[in-house]
């Protein structure tokens, strides 16, 4: 049921932009086609990797509408609507629903550093605002506040709060909450995809998947099929990519650079305060991509 709501092989999609910073419509539709062709069954639009803090409300709504129209029910479209302001989140949730989103991604309010009771009240207010299912996003490295296990367990009582994108990295806590609730967990840390899947995660919300969703699909299938030897081999091949994309500078920057190198999007443009990759970062990325590209050529040949 959870896969019906969100998918299993999800990608935190970048937002393609023109060199001047405007949204790049051809890049956006081409990227959606690329993700669908690579086995992605869930697309997160306007999340952190989509440079959400730099998007206007109109741009965020336009992104959801464009992606949902292009997808045509071939994958789930999950709209990122989280901010530090509950009223704004509610408005964005309603706009995303009207634009065609299938579900919402709701990050823990950032910068404000609310109490756990405040987080609960915030999430319940947004979940009550639409008929869409909600995936909570727990990423304390960015928000400054973690969602405690007790908070997740309490929020799980809401009928539309159905999943968690876990970028906290506390696998024991994740397993504990999985055992005590019906919440589906999605790994939000590319470097930890295999251990989360092996521990019972429903799927992934991947940044690396922008360029290599097909590899993630293979990893998910191997774990589900009980072939852990194959899963470990696949994971070992993915780790250099995860390292290059997620640990060189910043995920959106590096994912766009990878997609531009692959010819999927025409430009690697990001908006300030982000900057495009310098040459030394591109060299590191391309070194990690080379074995994966060779493998693709062998498979296609």
Please, are residues 11 and 214 in contact by the beta-carbon 8 Å criterion? no
Please, are residues 238 and 260 in contact by the beta-carbon 8 Å criterion? no
Could you give the 3-state DSSP secondary structure of residue 19?
coil
Q: Let me know if 84 is a catalytic residue.
A: no
d(Cα 287, Cα 267) in Å, to the nearest integer?
20
Exactly one of 94, 110, 111, 137 is catalytic; name it.
137
Q: Write out the DSSP string of 147-200.
A: --HHHHHHHTTSTTEEEEEE-S--HHHHHHHHHHS--EEEE--GGGHHHHHHTT
Please, are residues 194 and 203 in contact by the beta-carbon 8 Å criterion? no
Cα 18–Cα 22–Cα 26 angle in degrees, nearest 5: 55
Plot region of 219 (φ>0 → left; ψ -120 to 50 → alpha; else → beta): alpha
Q: Let me know if 113 is a catalytic residue.
A: no
Q: Is 87 annotated as a binding residue?
A: no
d(Cα 106, Cα 274) in Å, to the nearest integer?
23
Q: Is 49 annotated as a binding residue?
A: yes
Return the percent helix, strand and coil in the chain, to nearest 5: 55, 15, 35
Q: Which helix or strand (DSSP H or E) is residue 68 part of?
A: helix 57-71
CA dihedral 61, 63, 67, 68 (to 10 degrees): 0
d(Cα 57, Cα 63) in Å, to the nearest integer?
10
Exactly one of 165, 168, 186, 212 is catalytic; name it.
165
d(Cα 228, Cα 234) in Å, to the nearest integer?
10
Residues annotated as binding site for pyruvate? 49, 205
- What are the residue numbers of the active site? 137, 165
Residues annotated as binding site? 49, 205
């Amino acid at each position: 049921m959870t896969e019906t709501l969100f998918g299993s092989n999800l990608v935190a999609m970048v937002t393609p932009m023109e060199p001047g910073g405007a949204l790049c419509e051809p890049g956006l539709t081409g990227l959606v086609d690329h993700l669908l062709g690579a086995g992605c069954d869930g697309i997160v639009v306007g999340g952190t990797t989509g440079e959400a803090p730099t998007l206007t409300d109109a741009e965020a709504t336009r992104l959801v509408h464009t992606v949902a129209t292009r997808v045509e029910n071939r994958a789930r479209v999950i709209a990122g609507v989280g901010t530090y302001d509950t009223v704004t989140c509610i408005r964005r949730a309603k706009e995303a629903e009207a634009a065609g989103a299938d579900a919402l991604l709701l990050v823990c309010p950032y910068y404000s550093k609310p109490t756990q009771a405040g987080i609960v009240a915030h999430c319940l207010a947004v979940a009550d605002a639409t008929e869409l299912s909600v995936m909570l996003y727990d990423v304390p490295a960015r928000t400054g506040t973690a969602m405690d296990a007790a908070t997740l367990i309490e929020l799980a009582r809401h009928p539309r709060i159905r999943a968690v994108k876990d970028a906290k990295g506390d696998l024991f806590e994740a397993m504990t909450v999985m055992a005590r609730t019906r919440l589906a967990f999605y790994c939000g840390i590319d470097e930890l995809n295999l251990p989360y899947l092996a521990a019972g995660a429903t799927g992934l919300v991947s940044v690396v998947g922008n360029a290599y969703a097909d590899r993630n699909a293979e990893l998910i299938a191997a774990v589900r099929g009980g072939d852990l030897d194959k899963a470990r081999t696949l994971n070992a091949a993915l780790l250099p990519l995860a390292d290059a994309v997620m640990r060189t500078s910043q995920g959106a920057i590096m994912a766009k650079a990878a997609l531009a190198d692959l010819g999927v999007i025409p430009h690697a443009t990001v908006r300030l305060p982000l900057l495009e990759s310098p040459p030394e970062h591109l060299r590191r990325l391309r070194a990690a991509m080379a074995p994966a590209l060779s493998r693709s050529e062998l498979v296609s040949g």
